[in-house]
Amino acid sequence: MGSSATEFLAKAAVYRCFVCFASVFAIFSPACPVLYVSQTGSGADGSSWQTAYKTIGEALAAAAPGTEIWIREGVYPERLVIQQPGLKLRGGFAGDESSLDQRHGGETVIDAQGNGRPLRVNQVSDVILERLTLRRGYAMGFGGALYAPNCPNLTLVMCIIEDSTSFS
């Protein structure tokens, strides 16, 4: 057997081991961490509704890839940038839920107040935006409310974009 065939078989064996390890890790790894955002939280560490971050930006700064961010109903006057892959921003919480199926809150609004985009997803994959209203975005170029260049698998679920403009 030639050296290229030997290298191929060695790489294939390593790949099989990696796939097996990844599969086992996926089965036994804990659920994605959840960070909480509420304008009435203490702002301490975002680990519960009581200690929730007061802004979405604070939660984004603390989030690792794959984190879920649960956002309580209300209007958040922010301009945000998502830079971690796999983040899930979920709005519409009342602030007393412990699981997604208990969600019963009202509207969660990210309001740029006419000073740029409410949200930019910065070249990362597998981001989910759910039950968010992106309001009063203004941008020169593309995406008055949301700009997401080169973002494979960006998913919007029950999101509203309102009162936003972009000019080229």
Residues in the chain: 168
Give the pLDDT of residue 142. Answer: 86
Give the pLDDT of residue 13. Answer: 37
What value, to the nearest 5°, has the Cα angle with vertex 137 and ends 68 and 45?
30
> What tokens were used for 24?
């086992």
C-alpha of 2 from chain center: 48
Task: Convert the pLDDT of each residue in 111-168 to its tens digit.
Answer: 999 999 999 999 999 999 999 999 999 998 888 999 999 999 999 999 999 999 998 7
The rounded distance, in Å, linking the Cα atoms of 68 and 88 is 5
> Contact, 148 vs 123, CB < 8 A?
no
Long-range (24+ apart) CB contacts under 8 A made by 54-58 are 56/80, 56/89, 56/110
C-alpha of 93 from chain center: 15
Task: Convert the pLDDT of each residue in 25-44 to its tens digit.
Answer: 333 334 679 999 999 999 99
Cα 4 to Cα 10, 15, 104: the distances in Å are 10, 16, 59
Task: Convert the pLDDT of each residue in 51-62 to its tens digit.
Answer: 999 999 999 999
Q: pLDDT band for 2, please (50, 70, 90 cuts).
A: low
Weakest mean pLDDT among 22-26, 74-78, 103-107: 22-26
> What tokens were used for 161?
């974009």
Give the global pTM: 0.80
> Contact, 109 vs 118, CB < 8 A?
no
- The secondary structure element, H or E, covering residue 10 is helix 3-28
Q: Is 97 exposed, middle or buried (0-12, 13-18, 19+ CB in 10 A)?
A: middle
Give the pLDDT of residue 141. Answer: 84
The rounded distance, in Å, linking the Cα atoms of 134 and 63 is 21
Is 50 exceeded by the pLDDT of residue 94? yes
Place of tokens 């008055």: 144
Q: pLDDT band for 5, please (50, 70, 90 cuts).
A: very low
